[in-house]
């Protein structure tokens, strides 16, 4: 039960961070991607801040013998680039560039009632489902 509550609260903090930083505003994201037009570099600071926090967090957390709610750390060990990773990254980037959303901000935008989310979110679910069907 405690694990579920911590997960829920972590999700709330993450969602609030997305909203406060502007990541759930597709116009801001699309302006960030439009380097030859209405470029808005403010999301660089959001990304840099996130990278610094994650870097510091990993350094602190990995000094522990095990996570608080698990027996071992689950850290990815693969370092190779395969077809699925490259294609997935390409489709993710194309979707982000067209819609201005990535999955996290798309979920937080559902509650905000963002205009484009009524089209993007179902399309994202279709893409996720198709991926599972293709990989099966």
> pLDDT for 62-85, tens place per residue?
999 998 888 898 888 988 999 888
Beta strands in 2-134 (DSSP E): none
Q: Are 43 and 22 contacting, i.e. CB atoms less than 8 angstroms apart?
A: yes
Token pair listed for 124:
């994202």
Looking at residue 5, its pLDDT comes to 92
Q: Are 28 and 109 contacting, i.e. CB atoms less than 8 angstroms apart?
A: no
Looking at residue 112, its pLDDT comes to 78
Interacting residues of 21 by C-beta distance below 8 A, sequence separation 6+: 43, 46
Please give the DSSP secondary-structure letter assigned to residue 68.
T
Positions in the chain whose pLDDT score sits under 70: none
Looking at residue 120, its pLDDT comes to 87
Looking at residue 36, its pLDDT comes to 92
Looking at residue 109, its pLDDT comes to 82
The size of the chain, in residues, is: 136
């Amino acid at each position: 039960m405690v694990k579920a509550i911590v997960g829920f609260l972590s999700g709330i903090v993450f969602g609030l961070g997305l909203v406060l930083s502007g990541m759930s505003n597709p116009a801001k994201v699309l302006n960030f991607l439009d380097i030859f037009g209405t470029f808005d570099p403010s999301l660089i600071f959001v990304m840099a801040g996130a990278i610094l926090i994650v870097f510091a967090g990993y350094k602190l957390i990995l000094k522990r013998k095990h996570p608080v709610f698990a027996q071992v750390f689950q850290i990815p060990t693969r370092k190779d680039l395969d077809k699925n990773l490259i294609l997935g990254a390409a489709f993710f980037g194309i979707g982000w560039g067209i819609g201005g959303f990535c999955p996290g901000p798309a979920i937080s935008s559902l509650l905000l009632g963002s205009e484009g989310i009524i089209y993007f979110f179902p399309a994202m679910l279709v893409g996720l489902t198709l991926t599972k069907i293709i990989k099966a």
